[in-house]
Amino acid sequence: MASITMEHIVKQYGDGFPAVNDVSLDIDDGEFVILVGPSGCGKSTLLRMIVGLEDITSGELRIGDKVVNDKAPRDRDLAMVFQNYALYPHLTVYENIAFPLKLQKGQYPAEEVDSRVRRAAHLLELEEHLDRKPANLSGGQRQRVAMGRAIVRQAQAFLFDEPLSNLDAKLRGQMRTEIARLQRNLGITTVYVTHDQTEAMTLGDRVAVMRRGILQQVASPRGLYEQPLNLFVAGFIGSPPMNFLTGQVHGDVLRLPIVDVPLDERLRAAVGDRELVIVGIRPDDFEDAEVLAEDKRAGGVTFDASVDVTEWLGEVLYAYVPYEIHESVRAKLDELDRELEGEGMRSQLVVALESMSRIRDGDTAELWIDPAKIHVFDPESGDNLTRDEQRAAELEEDAINQRRRALERARLRAERDGARQPA
């Protein structure tokens, strides 16, 4: 296992287009990092440069303490798990897992191969399937065989390129949990590319969000969700996405299309001398005022909203509330929507309410928001003006401690298992 360090990595393809533009990122030994972003943002190119399938135009890539820019893929000692698993159909599960060891002829005695395959099969719960052929396995089992091949090599790191995109939604969910569990148990450095923000949020210790070749923010999932650096990250992370509205400063209030919010100290500092800002509110940060406890209600602002449509999903009720977008920020928000491959529905608010809310289609509902949860963005640069650096640092600290604890648990489990495993 090893750390992976990227310093000012650039990739220019033949036509001079910078697919990856000055990316610096330190991945810790044992860490699970997700590269995420919309199509074409450069995440696969970055992964392919780490693995050695793509030349690095400039910058330095280190695995452990070795610079590997000019090393061939096979000398980097990394294990890549592809989307299509690349299993050999005529070989059994056992032979598929053993394959990478047999490739390195003579290097491993037969007993060593056998013990490594059985250990990987044990970790992956594939023991009963060792004599079967890939065609007879489920998608999830095939994925585990592909990971088994990576495990037996005892590579320095795992690299995944959209490994779950071929699976249906249910299996994707299951495999997500399995990959997370395995990565924790093995404690192996992992880089995982996806365009799916749910995968990014649920799998990674840290998530690196890319846009047009440029790294926007690297943080824990909570860090990205609560303290996004800019409009792009705020809009990309979270489902349903953050609502963006125009905020006009009128004396002591910030006038949103839905409600006037008092400019408290935090909001005043964020707005500065701007007259117009973009305001972001997460769907979760709205409440149905009717079912809110009195003391909580007093801490926020309420407003009447004309609810167009509601969707009741059992655990949550979504309400859609149309509103007007100010012309001066329409172009900026339209551009963001295109980049995020949105559905062009930025002119309706998405509100996530508790499922017991009785709000229904066509109602005028009294909704509530807490001004402390509102994000304010600069309409030109898109910078998050309400970002709280101290809170952001605390969230990262928390995430690091959590990871340490998980790795420690995994180490203890491995020790216990090692004692139980047949040699």
Give the nearer residue to ligand ATP in terms of CB position, either 15 or 273.
15
Give the nearer residue to ligand ATP in terms of CB position, either 42 or 187.
42
Query: In this structure, what token pair is assigned to residue 15?
Result: 């036509």
How big is the CA angle at 178 (ends 175 and 180), to the nearest 5 degrees?
110
Give the nearer residue to ligand ATP in terms of CB position, either 6 or 98.
6
Q: In the bound complex, what is the minimum distance in angstroms from residue 9's beta carbon to ligand ATP?
A: 12
Q: In the bound complex, what is the minimum distance in angstroms from residue 170's beta carbon to ligand ATP?
A: 23
Q: In the bound complex, what is the minimum distance in angstroms from residue 99's beta carbon to ligand ATP?
A: 27
Q: Which residues lie closer than 8 Å to 123 by C-beta, 6 or more apart? A: 151, 182, 185, 186
Sign of CA dihedral 201, 204, 208, 213: negative
Binding site residues, ligand ATP, CB under 6 A: 13, 15, 17, 19, 37, 39-45, 195
Q: In the bound complex, what is the minimum distance in angstroms from residue 46's beta carbon to ligand ATP?
A: 7
Q: In the bound complex, what is the minimum distance in angstroms from residue 15's beta carbon to ligand ATP?
A: 6
Sign of CA dihedral 413, 143, 224, 393: positive
In this structure, the number of other CB atoms found within 10 A of the CB of residue 58 comes to 12
Give the nearer residue to ligand ATP in terms of CB position, either 13 or 88.
13
Give the nearer residue to ligand ATP in terms of CB position, either 209 or 350.
209
Give the nearer residue to ligand ATP in terms of CB position, either 214 or 325.
214
Q: In the bound complex, what is the minimum distance in angstroms from residue 210's beta carbon to ligand ATP?
A: 7
